[in-house]
Amino acid sequence: MNQNMDHVVTRFAAPPVTETGEGARELMHAIMATEPPPAKARRRPNRRLAVAAGAVLTGAVMAATWVLPTSSASALDIEEKNGYYVIQIKDLYANPEIYETQLKDHGLDVTLKVKPVTAAFEGQVFPTSPDHKYITDIKGIYPPGPCDKLDGCAIGVKIPVGYTDTVDIRVGRKARPGEKYTSITSFDAKGEPMECVPYHNKTVAEVRDLLKERGVRIGNFVIDDPDSDDPQDFTEASSAPDSLLVTGGALREPGVTSLHVSSVPTPGDVVERRYRKNGCPTS
């Protein structure tokens, strides 16, 4: 079933690539050559959700990491190849109207918005229809080999030639100092500062030191009510006792996290499942 965007926070992910050269471009075209173009563009179901730090983070996404040098006057590099438009971004800070003008010149009714996101979500694209349904016909192009990011390390995005549906695409970029993220990410998600760090059930004082080593400070605290079964039953505060135990965290701007804490420890089996889910060692 298609996923309604009203119930999720926009998701992005990709490696912090700042330039794509000719080699990457050739690789992208080689990958595309092995995939036949679709006969007709259709909307298909979304795939998965990821929940972290009490916030619903994401819907399934086909990623796209494409940043080119900004010497050209054009904000986008659009090339027709094997039945697709292959799109790379030259200017991440261009006015969205410039993107739309270039896309419309190729017959694409696409709104492209570039938003500040966490490291795990930089460069990823999230295409939706006007009724907020995720569209899988707009795909990321992935190189072979391992990837250390949340949802892949794509080098481009492709849209079928002749695709006429209206699409809203949001792309993540690195946040400037002082900018708030437009997506909320668990601080231990893949690619984030606390990935695979065994912080669960450590005290606030201990985790504060771990965060400081990674260039992150605590912006505020989310204090769980240990007597309630409702995960929404919590108190936000600017400070908390150093003796409270840490259950998680959420990044909201560069170098700043909300810290989720409780007076009771998280059960060991819950911690182990979380580490396994994130692909981290459990002992």
Compare 2 and 281 and report the one with higher pLDDT.
281
pTM above 0.85, yes or no: no
What one-character DSSP code corresponds to residue 5? G
3-state SS, residue 103: helix
Q: Categorize the per-residue pLDDT at 148 as very low, low, confident or very high, splitting at 50, 70 and 90.
A: low
Which among 204, 272, 215 is positioned nearest to 238, based on CA atoms? 204
Mean pLDDT of 253-271: 92
Domain boundaries, the chain: 5-174, 187-277
pLDDT of residue 240 exceeding 60, the answer is: yes
User: Residues with Cβ < 8 Å from 167, sequence gap 6 or more?
Assistant: 108, 109, 110, 111, 127, 128, 129, 135, 138, 159
Mean pLDDT computed over 77-105: 88
DSSP per-residue string spanning 150-199: TT----EEEEETT--S-EEEEEEEEPPTTPPPSS-EETTSTTSTTTT---
pLDDT, average across residues 167-179: 84
Indicate if the pLDDT at residue 215 is higher than 90: yes
Who's near 105: CB < 8 A, 6+ residues apart? none
* Structure confidence by residue, pLDDT tens digits, 189-199: 888 999 999 99
Lowest mean pLDDT among 23-32, 81-90, 252-261: 23-32
CA-CA distance, 13 to 121, in Å (whole number)?
3
Residue 133, pLDDT above cutoff 50: yes
For the cut 70, the answer to whether the pLDDT of residue 97 exceeds it is yes
pLDDT tens digits for range 32-66: 344 434 433 333 333 332 333 333 333 333 333 44
Q: Which two tokens stand for residue 207?
A: 């985790």
Rounded average pLDDT over 275-281: 85
* Predicted local distance difference test score (pLDDT) of residue 66: 47
How far is CA 46 from its chain centroid?
A: 15
